[in-house]
């Protein structure tokens, strides 16, 4: 596989995200913060939009040119918009350019030309209006990588890593979809990724309960006994360091977090609320289970503040740095 041993001189491929959101602004901010460092990136997008944020921009023909350009200007692999983009005014006519940016970035990573993919925020509503058939970035990336159904979304900040077993579905549907096999599959993928991409030789994995007090021995729900405990037994038989099911209301305190490397959560908000409360600024979304590295800032398009010059690039900077760190671990594995 081309991505199995990545030369560390390779740049990261950064997608444009929604051009009417804060993507261009935080991209410019990330370049300012990182231009003297060892994590070059190339943007697949519109050079003019990024240049509006008082940074030098240079269009390049291949991503191989990014490293030599990066210290002096934002390297841009051009992706043409169908209509002019205006901050805070999303237009679904630009959906093909948004998805083309993602597809091209994935292709560069799969071909071994990019160290990994970092994605700027997209709007699910904008893409859906244009006929986009996927619930979000995560599922689209899995399809582009020919591994649909194997994707696992992990959110990480310096104090916590979380994985939701069910992701972009309603809470009612999540309860219907949750089963033992889903917990096992997501946990095995997470365990392997923590070893390969994060350098954790023996990951400690905490499994959350579903119900209040983790069911209180069945008095507040039986899913812990019928769905979660059987998964824990099988994962332990695999030789993994598994604990749980943990009461969800106490497992994210500082003393509890010190006892595990990742928390496997049963549904979207059970995972994302503690992560974003603890440190949304440094939060990073990474997709596990892909043949490539992919990270993203842990926030949305922020159309309401786009163009005002107040967007914080910290999460994007964290995503870029995490992607390169993952590439370094993968290169050594």
- Ligand-binding annotation for 138, yes or no, is yes
Q: Which residues contact 228 (CB under 8 A, 6 or more apart)?
A: 180, 183, 207, 209, 210, 244, 245, 266
- Ligand-binding annotation for 250, yes or no, is no
Report the alpha-carbon distance of residue 18 to residue 111 in Å, rounded.
25
User: Considering only CA atoms, which of 76, 269, 236 is closest in space to residue 164?
Assistant: 269
Residue-wise pLDDT for 95-123, tens only, equals 999 999 999 999 999 999 999 999 999 99
- Domain ranges, ordered by start, for the chain: 1-150+282-332, 159-278
- Ligand-binding annotation for 285, yes or no, is yes
> 1-150+282-332 domain in CATH 3.30.565.10?
no
Report the alpha-carbon distance of residue 173 to residue 264 in Å, rounded.
18
Residue-wise pLDDT for 187-200, tens only, equals 999 999 999 999 99
- Ligand-binding annotation for 268, yes or no, is yes
Q: Which two tokens stand for residue 109?
A: 């990573």
Residue-wise pLDDT for 130-179, tens only, equals 999 998 888 999 999 999 989 999 999 999 999 999 988 899 999 999 99
Helix (H) or strand (E) holding 59: strand 57-59
Angle (nearest 5°) at CA 224 between 221 and 226: 95
User: Are 1-150+282-332 and 159-278 the same fold in CATH?
Assistant: yes
- Tell whether the model's pLDDT for residue 33 goes beyond 60: yes
Superfamily of structural domain 159-278: Isopropylmalate Dehydrogenase (3.40.718.10)
Q: Which residues contact 181 (CB under 8 A, 6 or more apart)?
A: 231
- Ligand-binding annotation for 168, yes or no, is yes
Report the alpha-carbon distance of residue 317 to residue 258 in Å, rounded.
25
Report the alpha-carbon distance of residue 115 to residue 10 in Å, rounded.
5
C-alpha pair distances (Å), 159 with each of 162, 283, 296, 306: 10, 10, 17, 29
Question: What share of residues in the chain are helix, strand, coil (percent, to 5)?
Answer: 40, 15, 40
Looking at residue 37, its pLDDT comes to 81
């Amino acid at each position: 596989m081309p991505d199995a041993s990545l030369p560390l001189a390779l740049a990261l491929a950064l997608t444009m995200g929604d051009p009417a959101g804060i993507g261009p602004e935080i991209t410019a901010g990330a370049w300012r913060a990182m231009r003297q460092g060892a994590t070059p990136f190339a943007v697949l997008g519109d050079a003019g939009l990024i240049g509006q944020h008082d940074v030098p921009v240079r269009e390049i023909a291949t991503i191989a040119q990014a490293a030599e350009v990066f210290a002096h200007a934002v390297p841009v692999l051009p992706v043409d918009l169908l209509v002019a983009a205006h901050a805070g005014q999303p237009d679904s006519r630009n959906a093909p350019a948004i998805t083309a940016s993602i597809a091209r970035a994935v292709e560069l990573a799969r071909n071994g030309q990019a160290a990994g993919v970092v994605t700027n925020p997209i709007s699910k509503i904008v893409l859906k209006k244009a006929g986009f058939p996927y619930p979000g970035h995560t599922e689209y990336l899995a399809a582009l990588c020919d591994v649909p159904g194997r994707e696992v979304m992990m959110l990480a900040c310096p104090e916590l890593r979380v994985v939701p077993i069910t992701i972009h579905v309603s809470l009612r549907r999540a309860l219907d979809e949750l089963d033992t096999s889903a917990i096992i599959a997501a946990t095995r993928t997470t365990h392997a990724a923590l070893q390969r991409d994060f350098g954790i030789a023996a990951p400690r994995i905490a499994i959350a309960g579903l119900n209040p007090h983790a069911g209180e021995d069945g008095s507040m729900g039986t899913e812990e006994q019928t769905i979660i405990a059987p998964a824990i037994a099988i994962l332990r038989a695999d030789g993994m360091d598994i604990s749980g099911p943990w009461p969800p209301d106490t497992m994210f305190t500082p003393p509890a977090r010190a006892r595990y490397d990742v928390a496997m959560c049963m549904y979207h908000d059970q995972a994302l609320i503690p992560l974003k409360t603890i440190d949304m600024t440094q939060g990073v979304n990474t997709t596990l289970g892909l043949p490539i590295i992919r990270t993203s800032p842990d926030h949305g398009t922020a159309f309401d503040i786009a163009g005002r010059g107040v967007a914080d690039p910290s999460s994007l900077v964290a995503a870029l740095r995490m992607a390169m760190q993952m590439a370094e671990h993968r290169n050594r594995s």
